[in-house]
């Protein structure tokens, strides 16, 4: 049985208890959210993990880090270092998006090394397989696609991004509308190529029951991908995006009915003032299914700083109810991230998630800030470093710039407002 099926029957599982414990929430409350599809626990039944993670209503906002090779940069060791850095800096899940090198070997190494849930986008392996066999993507049969899913499921992958919402209808909707950057989802583009050539419906839509059957056998959580996500502000919240969301809402309902855990992927590039509506729309159309957002980036003009553009959008999205933030690194739009980029991306996304958790009133979220502020007021530097989201960087800044008086910093020196007000306000 899946976590969802247990929850529907009112049975608390060890995974639910573990999540409730780590979040400090009532296990029965969590069970109810899982039962009603408002929270998921991505955990392939074949894979042991040291960190079980719940995503959804009433829980901390979670952060995912995308790692993995590309044809241009394929180094297993580097990717394992990224995995390590991501987990060390607090990523709650990772996704292996490799498209270069020995995909199975890379994935197995990551599954072996990852203490956190690991997700994939199986259509990438399908595309790489085609290329290696010198075939074109459209020649791949639906049978072969499902064989890839089955293979990855058997290896223990915890959640799959499946672009079932890329249908003849949604593609037609996009064509009619016209866009500035068309499709920016790799999985979406691959499926569109397949559909256009074959003149046939997306197998992951047409045979969605088969996807469900497979997911159910392993208790893989489905992350319904947004192949139509906007890739620039001008394309945001357009008919194609919303049309796909409606399809995803229908499919999410079918998944829940089938006992398969499901979440919904969302944009992308979205103007700041459209974020609230996007979250509300997903929550309504998909009956509260956890919302997994990539960003959103609130401007297109900052390549090299998209960890910041997405931290702005992610914080806002999560404060309005998004449950799961996919990090964006500074190298987004420019190249595959380095280990340092992964670290920066995770920290920026965690800042966004935490700021949102305070706004959402997540239990205990503000306590961290209060502890830090008490240490700051006392000018207790060691404790500030210990509490910092990135103690290494905080220490580096302090070390670089030594004050004459140890209890202050070089910005204000003896004019430290906290030191002065200590004397005259107490």
Choosing from 180, 200, 277, 364, the residue that interacts with a copy of itself (CB under 8 A) is 180
Q: State which residue, 50 or 273, has the beta carbon closest to a copy of itself.
A: 273
The SS3 of residue 87 is helix
Rounded to 5°, the CA angle 137-121-294 comes to 120
Closest to a copy of itself by CB, 20 or 184: 184
Task: Compute the least distance from the CB of residue 78 to a copy of itself, in Å.
Answer: 12
277 counts as binding a copy of itself under rule CB under 8 A: no
Write the DSSP symbol of residue 158.
-
- Binding residue for a copy of itself (CB under 8 A) from 259, 266, 330, 345? 330
Nearer to a copy of itself, 48 or 424 (CB): 424
Number of chain positions touching a copy of itself (CB under 8 A): 109
Evaluate whether 74 touches 41 at the Cβ level (below 8 Å).
no
Site for a copy of itself in 111-170 (CB under 8 A): 124, 127, 131
Q: Which is nearer to a copy of itself, 49 or 179 (CB)?
A: 179
Structure tokens at 321: 């109810």
User: Which residues make Cβ contacts (< 8 Å) with residue 219, sequence separation at least 6?
Assistant: 1, 2, 3, 43, 44, 45, 261
Per CB under 8 A, contacts with a copy of itself among 10-29 are: none
* 51-90 binders of a copy of itself (CB under 8 A): 70-73
Q: Which span sits near a copy of itself by CB under 8 A: 19-27, 44-52, 186-194, 249-257? A: 186-194
- Residue 11 vs 421, nearer CB to a copy of itself: 421
Q: Which is nearer to a copy of itself, 286 or 355 (CB)?
A: 355
Is the distance from CB of 386 to CB of 374 less than 8 angstroms?
Answer: no
188 lies in the site for a copy of itself, by CB under 8 A? yes
Exactly one of 21, 29, 200, 377 binds a copy of itself (CB under 8 A); which one?
A: 377
Does 50 bind a copy of itself (CB under 8 A)? Our answer is no
Q: Which of 336, 342, 346, 362 binds a copy of itself (CB under 8 A)?
A: 336
The candidate with the shortest Cα–Cα distance to 171, out of 202, 206, 127, is: 202
Q: Nearest-5° angle of CA 287, CA 292, CA 295?
A: 135
CA 287 to CA 366: how far, in whole Å? 29
C-beta of 309: minimal distance to a copy of itself in Å? 6
Residues 6+ apart with CB under 8 A from 242: 281
Write out the DSSP string of 347-406. HHHHHHHHHHHHHHT-TTHHHHHHHHHHHHHTT-HHHHHHHSSSHHHHHHHHHHS--SST
Q: Which of 32, 358, 380, 383 binds a copy of itself (CB under 8 A)?
A: 358
């Amino acid at each position: 049985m899946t976590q969802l099926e247990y929850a529907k029957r009112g049975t608390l599982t060890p995974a639910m208890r573990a999540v409730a414990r780590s979040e400090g929430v009532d296990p029965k409350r969590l069970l109810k959210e899982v039962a009603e599809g408002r929270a998921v626990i991505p955990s392939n039944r074949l894979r042991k993990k040291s960190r079980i993670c719940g995503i959804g209503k009433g829980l901390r906002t979670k952060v995912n880090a995308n790692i993995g090779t590309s044809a241009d940069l394929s180094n297993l060791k580097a990717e394992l270092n990224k995995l390590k850095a991501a987990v060390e800096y607090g990523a709650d899940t990772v996704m292996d998006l490799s498209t270069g090198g020995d995909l199975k070997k890379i994935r197995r190494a990551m599954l072996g090394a990852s203490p956190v849930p690991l997700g994939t986008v199986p259509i990438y392996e399908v595309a790489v397989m085609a290329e290696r066999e010198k075939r074109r993507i459209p020649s791949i049969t639906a049978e072969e696609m499902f064989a890839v899913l089955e293979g990855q499921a058997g290896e223990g992958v915890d959640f799959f991004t499946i672009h079932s919402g890329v249908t003849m209808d949604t593609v037609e909707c996009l064509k009619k509308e016209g866009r500035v950057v068309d499709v920016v989802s790799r999985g979406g583009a691959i499926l569109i190529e397949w559909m256009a050539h074959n003149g046939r419906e997306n197998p992951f839509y047409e045979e969605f029951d088969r996807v469900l059957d497979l997911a159910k056998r392993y208790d893989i959580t489905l992350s319904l991908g947004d192949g139509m996500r906007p890739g620039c502000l001008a394309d945001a919240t357009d008919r194609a995006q919303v049309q796909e969301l409606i399809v995803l809402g229908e499919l999410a309902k079918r998944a829940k009915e089938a006992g398969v855990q499901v979440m919904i992927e969302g944009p992308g590039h979205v103007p700041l003032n459209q974020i609230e509506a996007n979250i509300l729309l997903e929550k309504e159309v998909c009956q509260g299914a956890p919302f997994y957002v990539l960003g959103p980036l609130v401007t297109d003009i900052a390549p090299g700083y998209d960890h910041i553009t997405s931290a702005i959008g992610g914080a806002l999205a999560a404060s309005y109810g998004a449950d799961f933030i996919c990090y964006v690194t500074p190298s987004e739009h420019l190249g595959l991230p380095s280990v340092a980029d992964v670290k920066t991306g995770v920290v920026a996304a965690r800042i966004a998630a935490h700021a949102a958790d305070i706004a959402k009133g997540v239990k205990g979220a503000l306590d961290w800030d209060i502890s830090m502020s008490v240490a700051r007021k006392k000018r207790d530097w060691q404790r500030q470093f210990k509490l910092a989201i990135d103690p290494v960087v905080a220490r580096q800044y302090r070390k670089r710039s030594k004050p004459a008086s140890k209890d202050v910093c070089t910005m204000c020196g003896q004019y430290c407002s906290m030191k002065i007000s200590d004397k005259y306000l107490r």
